[in-house]
Structure 1
Amino acid sequence: MLLVDTRNGRPRSVSGQLLVRAASQSTPVAGVGVHGAVEGEFQQQQIETHTAPVADLQGLRCEISRWRGEAAAAARDTGCNVAPLATSPLAVRPIAARSPRYAWMVDRYQLTAREHLTCGCHVHVSVESDEEGVGVLDRIRVWLPALLALSANSPYWNGADTGFASYRSQALARWPSWGPADHFGSAEEYHRLVREMVLSSVILDEGMIYFDARLAQHYPTVEIRSADVCFTVEEAVVVAALCRGLVETAAEEWAFGKEAPAVPTQLLRLAAWQSGREGLGGRLIDWRSGLPKPCWWVLGSLLDHVGPALQAAGDLEVVQEGLARVQEEGNGAMRQRATFARTGRLVDVVAESVRQTPTRVQA
């Protein structure tokens, strides 16, 4: 999430100060083995929140609220607010956090790195093995553009309306390892490609595998990375539930030997571009036909696909209600533009996003 000045809404490079305050203010949660956290990110004008692993959506809702609240409380002591925006509506000159890794990235990627300031929503879902994980990756790749459209929350960039619902997706396209991945077929092929990418020296290490979904480095999970940071806690809960539904459905298909969809990666790139451009304001690419369809038809198809998994997890009603709310009220991109249309001031867009952040730490 962005760290923005309380007076004018502009991003401020205070993540180092915020992390010190977050460490001193964080309150423990009894009975939790793996804790969430507030952590730094690539640029000093942003912060990352992690949630502890949970099994149900109510637990996830509390975790997201708690850690957004922790970040907000620490930010207030630095004269800042936390804004759940995927890009900055107001002009900003990003300043990279101090670390050898980030210094290497700035030197290697030059203007791409110097201009990069985006915030995403990454969802981890557990898998039993790398083989199952790659089987999942091969089967969910066709649905990830729909998640981008649903979560789109970055229409503005450096003081201008970009014409995109998710300009974050365009900024990420400048990085060499970003985007939809090919069909792998096996964990061996996945790891072979990752090794070759690292050995190419174009990227620094495995942490720079920026696929829309990948095997996580440090956890036994599939990490789905396609979504913008979500405008509200409830939208984040819906996106996470859909991700779990996709992984559970794909794992079952893999276990029963159902073939993964044979969709060319280039078509998925087109679908991702279309999702970033239109969001929920137009038509998305239906991967089955390769043709544009109304956005809510495509999202309805996604819900039908994962419906049995959502029902089994007890998540279906929450997702249905959440999607209905987004259809009525709009996602982050639509809400940002509605605020600007009403006031004509981008600072009000930032202020409205700040109001979505929990103001109290949720225990």
Structure 2
Amino acid sequence: MSDSFEQARGPAGPSVGEVPPVGRTPAPGSVPSVGVEEEYLLVDPGSREVRPCAAAVVKRAAVELGDQVSPELAQFQVEAKTLPCVGLDDLHRQLRRMREVVTAAAEAEGVRAIATGSAVLGDAVPMQVSEQPRYQAQLDTYRGLVSEHAICACQVHVCVPDREQALLTGNHLRPWMSVLVALMANSPFWAGHDTGYASWRRLMWDRWPVAGPPPYFSDLADHDRCLESVGATGALLDQRAVYWDIRLSTRYPTLEIRVADMPVTAEESALLAGLVRALVVTALTAVERGDPGPPVSTDRLRAACWRAARDGLSGSGIDPRSGRLVPAEQTLDSLLDHIRPALEELGDLPAVTEGLRRLVAAGTGAERQRAVHARRESLTDVVDFLAAQTPTGTLD
């Protein structure tokens, strides 16, 4: 996120015209602000394969976005970051503007930007790593994990300035991450073939050290001891190499949720942010009354995320409360029941429930990608679909 996230009630950013409403704006200062990081792939308009030209695209996009746009690990990836927002409608406008600027910059450089969790086509491995010293250090430390890391995510930051509270909030969020994996699954294809998974990106992330569901922590000291112990093994390049699904930001007063594939549309990213913020507000209420959160085993959480990555919303999922295998869409009902009071308090209930209805009706990103592919068994059609939807697409 950009340094402006230090201003936890920052401005919404410039308007880019009328967009579908995503949520009403609560009174300033009454709710935690939220921000989103998105990662895009750059592809050749002819071959539809990934093309390593991020530096030029970032330079062009930065004329309008400044430090809200930056290179990523791969030379064919671009990252863009919103300013912190209170209202989901403001967040949606920022996401739309970000995507419009990045896609226009890509087109000016002779490529296309697409929003997906994995490289659909192209010889993405070994990946051409960006020249920044930190990325080169990652390559030296993690080796083949880096050279195969041609995947894109969407991260949500929610402002929780008290680190102890934020950490305990994460305990409450842990069981619900698999539902978000299923809902935002958008990486069925990888380098020219169907993986059989709704979120292949999830499986690739799980190979990294200090990734996946975080441990259950009793307090901040417990968290710090864990990182010190893991760091002593050499598995952490630095504190930013903690890649858990839920982590304390090292730079901002936020709790960061890193579980989702990069969504096809800005509408889905805004919906994700609304769900995450409601989960955080629900958890904060529990923490304030002295509830440290359910100590669900990490093994069960990993299994739940694996099942969600395999099936998305089209098969079965693990109910976060009971631990039972249920129809995947039933886990959405459990999620909505869990966060409903927070959504009502935030004023986001109508928008989030409508967003969930539209997403279920349209299908996850993985389902939409596969539906496009099924028409002519063409992966180039899938890339064209993603390129068309990335800047201004909606769940229609």
Q: TM-score, normalised by structure 1?
A: 0.94
Structure 2 CA distance for aligned equivalents of residues 230 and 145 of structure 1: 16
Conserved 8 A contact 1:82-1:354: yes
Matched, 1:64 2:95: yes
Shift of the 359–266 alpha-carbon distance from structure 1 to 2, 3 Å rule, reads closer
> Which residue, out of 38, 60, 81, partners 1:21?
60
Q: Report the aligned-residue RMSD.
A: 1.4
Structure 2 CA distance for aligned equivalents of residues 288 and 58 of structure 1: 31
Structure 2 CA distance for aligned equivalents of residues 207 and 128 of structure 1: 18
Give the match's secondary structure for 2:358: helix
> Which residue, out of 166, 171, 183, partners 2:199?
166
> Which residue, out of 74, 81, 87, partners 1:50?
81
In the alignment, which residue of structure 2 is the partner of 1:104? 137
- The amino acid that maps onto 1:250 is A
Instruction: Kindly report which structure 2 residues correspond to 1:1-363, keeping only aligned pairs within 5 A, or say none.
Output: 1-24=40-63, 26=64, 37-93=68-124, 94-358=127-391
Tell me by how many angstroms 1:56 deviates: 0.5
Conserved 8 A contact 2:75-2:128: yes
- The amino acid that maps onto 2:180 is L
Gap runs ≥5 in structure 1? 28-34
Structure 1 CA distance for aligned equivalents of residues 136 and 296 of structure 2: 37
Q: 97-106 or 233-242: which moved more? A: 97-106
Conserved 8 A contact 2:188-2:199: yes
Structure 1 CA distance for aligned equivalents of residues 219 and 141 of structure 2: 31
Tell me by how many angstroms 1:79 deviates: 0.7
Tell me by how many angstroms 1:111 deviates: 1.8
Conserved 8 A contact 2:265-2:392: no
- The amino acid that maps onto 1:66 is R
Structure 2 CA distance for aligned equivalents of residues 317 and 6 of structure 1: 39
Give the match's secondary structure for 1:300: helix
Identical residues among aligned pairs (%): 39
Gap runs ≥5 in structure 2? 1-39
Tell me by how many angstroms 1:22 deviates: 1.4
Q: Deviations over 1:307-358 (max 9, x none)?
A: 1111111111111111111111101000000000012110110110111122
Tell me by how many angstroms 1:289 deviates: 2.4
Q: 3-12 or 129-138: which moved more? A: 3-12
- The amino acid that maps onto 1:158 is A
Q: TM-score, normalised by structure 2?
A: 0.87
Tell me by how many angstroms 1:124 deviates: 0.3
Structure 2 CA distance for aligned equivalents of residues 232 and 312 of structure 1: 26
Structure 2 CA distance for aligned equivalents of residues 55 and 75 of structure 1: 30
- The amino acid that maps onto 1:23 is A
Structure 2 CA distance for aligned equivalents of residues 315 and 134 of structure 1: 24
Structure 1 CA distance for aligned equivalents of residues 228 and 328 of structure 2: 37
Tell me by how many angstroms 1:36 deviates: 6.7
Structure 2 CA distance for aligned equivalents of residues 11 and 104 of structure 1: 23
Give the match's secondary structure for 2:52: coil
Tell me by how many angstroms 1:10 deviates: 0.9
Give the match's secondary structure for 2:389: coil
Conserved 8 A contact 1:132-1:251: yes
Alignment length (residue pairs): 352
Conserved 8 A contact 2:48-2:122: no
Tell me by how many angstroms 1:291 deviates: 1.7
Give the match's secondary structure for 1:235: helix
Structure 2 CA distance for aligned equivalents of residues 109 and 128 of structure 1: 32
